[in-house]
Amino acid sequence: MNRATPLDDDARYRALCSHDARFDGRFFVGVTSTGIYCRPVCRVRTPRRENCRFFNHAAQAEQAGFRPCLRCRPELAPLDRHWSAEDAGAILACQAMRLLDDPQSWSTAWADGTAIRRLSERLGVSDRHLRRIFEAHIGVSPQRYVQTRKLLSAKQLLADTRLPVSQVAQASGFASLRRFNGAIQARYGLSPTQMRRSQSAPSGREAEHAGATVHLSWRPPYDAVAMLTFLAQRQLPGVEWVQPEALRLHRTVRLVVGGETHSGWLVAQFEPAAHRLALRVSDSLHTVLPSLIWRVRALLDLDADPQAINAVLHPHFPTGDGLRVPGGLDGFELAVRAVLGQQVTVAAARTLAQRLVERWGEPLVTPFASLHRLFPSAHTLASADPQALGELGIVRQRQAAIQALARAVTDGSLDLGGQADLSSTLQTLQALPGIGPWTAQYIALRALRWPDAWPTGDVALHQALGLNHRLGAATQRQAKRLASAWQPWRSYAVLRAWAGTYQAPATTDPPKDSL
């Protein structure tokens, strides 16, 4: 995949001097005079150029002996999503890095070496080859990369929650409290308790009433109103409450982490001036915060790199630079809603999904009158009476598709998580009754977070592109040819077309990734 133009160190220093949020997470700067590394948005006094060392990843800075800044907090930076098409090794390294960013990969298996073997098997290479490629392109070993991710996650929990240190260690993937304390002390020179005090974690009654609130950053531009409007048009009362005018999203959550189910609620408040999101969660979700943060980042597409995407799409979508691709907190829920949306309007699909929630959604107590149910689980819908589904107005073909999806997820033959293998998941989906190319691509676009999905045969997309959808296969071929110029970001092109921002090729230059 393409990425934005690589930055040299002089360009990075200019970005640091201007605190340019467009480059947040794309590099980190280590200050040799202090031994601290920062994000480019850090508001401390800018160090002299000769005192700066630049790194592509936080793990590189920590391997070089730098400690994270307690003011700009590198753990809050957007994740690196720079995919490269330079060579097979770069692609493999980026795929491995994305898999390792998932908190559910931070298992204790790293201690005995089995995790790297499973990762290499997943990627179809030997563990020796994976280590060599990862170090060549990322600059650190996979073990070092995971250790940094775990430590930064723990640092965030220590700063923003009142979780006991033992629970912070467990949530961050450490095998024992002793190992956790040792890792924090060795890397940061502080005990977990000292780090918590130094970062001013919420305390007393404030923490009790506010709940755990963490902050998640993004790179501008980001059109938060458009994102929330898209979600509001599809919201399910009882499960979601979206307020685009207030830049706020509420919803119920069910997470399965380590074989255990956790249920609760979240409130996401956009803070555009600071290019960040304030995420407040119920007490019941505190111990799985890293996994929840991961899913919220995917739901709201917080890790996208607009510089790379807009360099490809801006000529055809000049007013869509801030649009992102909405994801989902739960892949099964999104897949069911995609099936219900086949060949009907958004409003009709929402009505059917609402009936499903009212009939089988598990009740949940929350502080918000508008939130009181969870979306039905795969196990529940797999065992539902087809006649009862029919009574909700769901036709037989979609009944069969929903229950086939539910059974496949329940028995483990179908993975709809953000880290699922794309090719095998698409094949499995289309082998199910009632799941065609459009539905599979839509699920890939939102649940699998594939940036190059293309929902074949989408009438609204064809209309937005000015094509005659009545021509059938000919229109699909024409749309595919047109979209070839948008690879590898066709998912973003789809959202921009649906939003009505498509224009014929412009003669203006694409946005520059420079200062």
Collapsing DSSP to helix, strand or coil, 347 comes out as: helix
Angstrom CA distances, 316 to 37, 276, 483, stand at 39, 28, 10
Phi then psi for 238, rounded to 5 degrees? 100, -35
Question: Which amino acid type is present at position 119?
Answer: L
Collapsing DSSP to helix, strand or coil, 140 comes out as: coil
CB contact at 8 A, 417 and 331: yes
Residue closest to 107 by CA, chosen among 20, 46, 170, 191: 170
Pairing of strands 212-217, 52-55: unpaired
CB contact at 8 A, 232 and 244: yes
**Burial (Cβ within 10 Å: 0-12, 13-18, ≥19) of residue 218:** buried
CB contact at 8 A, 150 and 172: yes
DSSP-derived letter for residue 112 is H
CB contact at 8 A, 68 and 155: yes
Neighbours of 300 (CB within 10 A): 25
Pairing of strands 260-271, 248-257: antiparallel
Q: Tell me how far apart the alpha carbons of residues 372 and 365 are, in angstroms, rounded to a whole number.
A: 6
Q: Tell me how far apart the alpha carbons of residues 76 and 439 are, in angstroms, rounded to a whole number.
A: 34
Give me the active site residues, please.
Answer: 38, 458
User: How wide is the angle at C-alpha 131 spanned by C-alphas 129 and 133, nearest 5°?
Assistant: 65
Neighbours of 247 (CB within 10 A): 16
Residues in the chain: 515
Give start and end residues of each alpha helix (H) in 288-373: 289-299, 306-313, 331-340, 346-360
Residue closest to 439 by CA, chosen among 447, 409, 411, 499: 447
Q: Tell me how far apart the alpha carbons of residues 256 and 415 are, in angstroms, rounded to a whole number.
A: 13
Which residues fall within 8 angstroms of residue 495, CB to CB, at 6 or more apart? 230, 320, 323, 324, 325, 326
Angstrom CA distances, 324 to 100, 304, 319, 329, stand at 23, 8, 13, 16
Written as six digits, the tokens of 69 are 């800044």
Question: Which amino acid type is present at position 408?
Answer: A
Q: Tell me how far apart the alpha carbons of residues 174 and 151 are, in angstroms, rounded to a whole number.
A: 9
CB contact at 8 A, 325 and 451: yes
